[in-house]
Structure 1
Amino acid sequence: MPAWTTEIEIAYDFGHLYVHDGAAHWSDTPARVDLRMPRVGEFGVPVRIEGYGAKPAPDLARWEHVVEFSLRVESEAIAFASGTVGAARIGIANGDYRARWSAARGEYRFQLWPGPATAPTAELKRPPGAVSDLGDIPALLHDEGVQALGSIVGTRVRGDALQLYVRLSAWRDRAWYRTVRCDGAVRWQATSDPFSTALLHAEHPGLLAFADERGGLSFKGAPAEPERLEAALRAAHAEAAGRHIAFEEGLAARLAVGYGRLASGPVTLLRRYAHVADHHGVATNLTVTGPGRAGLALLELGDTFVVAERFSIVES
């Protein structure tokens, strides 16, 4: 049985919660513990706090995610913080502690007992369905107390794994270095231009060429103004695919013939072409020729982007 219990409400953003001594800001605390959360963000999340005189049993069967870690308290408080949201604090006597975070289906528990401050973190149970993660990069960029700017300072390729070396800098000459590992990379473009946002996309124009079904679009019937139809197709292409897929030049001459192949490529884009052609009185026929590739996502760091299967962060 716990020696004492209390309950607090926390908030988190960008899928991470940071636990650390209550005196410092989360971004300036090397000894913080980074906890992956099940959603992108939540407010008003209840957490049960339990204090013990000795290590309690972990009861792993009840929980989906269980992590044990060490804490050194020097300010008589522990903070539960996250990017862009305020920290929740609990008062606690100064000293060295071991802690256990348990989570399952929206229920959270934080257990605390005396222990060594240098013992390593141990993930006793990992939640199912591990997904890509950008670590604290989004929080460092968006937190009003940090407002960092990022830049790519280097890249490295090993097989189909790409590494992006990222520098994040903020006022008072603060800097953080992170390595973004992109496994199963199929396309990437890196620039040294600064960026202020970090986004992972499951749907994006840059994914069309890889994740969408492939097909061919044929047409029959000559438009009255082939150049006008080509311009309309170009506009639809720019809206659907942007810079990620090149527009095929010379369509006006092909359209003037009155029949043949209009385009090949992602089915989503070809359907846009078919809609535009129909508006101009040209009949089309779409044939699906192959499946898309599942499980891809697009990482966007300003003008830098990567299409890959999985993204993870290594602190450096």
Structure 2
Amino acid sequence: MSTRTATRYSTRELRAAAAALAAGTFATPPTRPATLETAEGQNPRATLEATATTEGERDRAPRGTGYTPSPGATSAVSTGAGPLVRVRAANAGAGASTIALALADVADAAGIRTRVLDAAAPAWSGLLGATVTELGAAEGWRRGRRGDGVLIDRVEDPVRVPGEVPSPRSVDGVDLTVLDAGWSMRELAASGAGSWVATTPARAEVLVTRPHGLALSQTEAALADLEGQLTRDGVVVVVVGAARWSDREFAPAGRLLRAVRQQEAVLFAPLLPAKALPGLGPDPLPKQLTSPSQRLLKRIITITGPLTANRT
């Protein structure tokens, strides 16, 4: 006589399955056995969604739970009193983490109290070694300090999708929050309303790209997702590896990127060799990045207004 043991799944796995079902991003191989037993005539998707609903709609997910709001909900969180600037890479290897850190450094030098939220999975983070002093971990984040007053919060535990990134830690005395989104535009778009990293309103959106045909094409696709913000002059594009707009080099640029240029919101930064920038460590960034970053900060202030005006 043999007995059959039912497969057990964690709450995290069930929630991930519910999110996949809701998004339609799942596959059912013909040879794979059923992973969830339901009562006869019961809809598995309804069961999973009901399970998620009974947990309650929470604005703040515990670390690493992978909690995703039910379809139709929008995940937005508080990132502090200062304006939020979201920095994203329009294409792989564009250098978004470098630009985010350089922006924080020049803001710090200007007396602007700045926090960087590094939302990347720890294994993919570009800022793991960027702090001078570690200040401990809490609420799913590791906090460190850099320069005179830059706080850097990095995700503590492994996460697989943007929806698993925990809500930011509370913080006082911050004039500006720089969000290094840490995920590709496709991953952020696929996360839908379930990821605060993608959906929390930002005062300014910074897209980082490279000056070649494929990258410019991907930038155009990324700008299409930000067209509403673009109409409000809330988008800045930073091109890494070019010194100016060249008609020949930027011939592949699309309508939206040209519109950003008309707003004087296309900026340029050098692509530094590995010898000059071997990685993002605790030391100050090379001086070649100072002037481009100051121009970026100046442009952001034209969007947000003075960053120290609301100090108490």
Fold in common (TM above 0.5): no
Could you say which structure has the greater relative contact order, defined with CA pairs below 8 angstroms and 6 or more residues apart?
2
Q: Which has the higher helix share?
A: 2
Q: What is the TM-score of this pair, normalised by structure 2?
A: 0.23
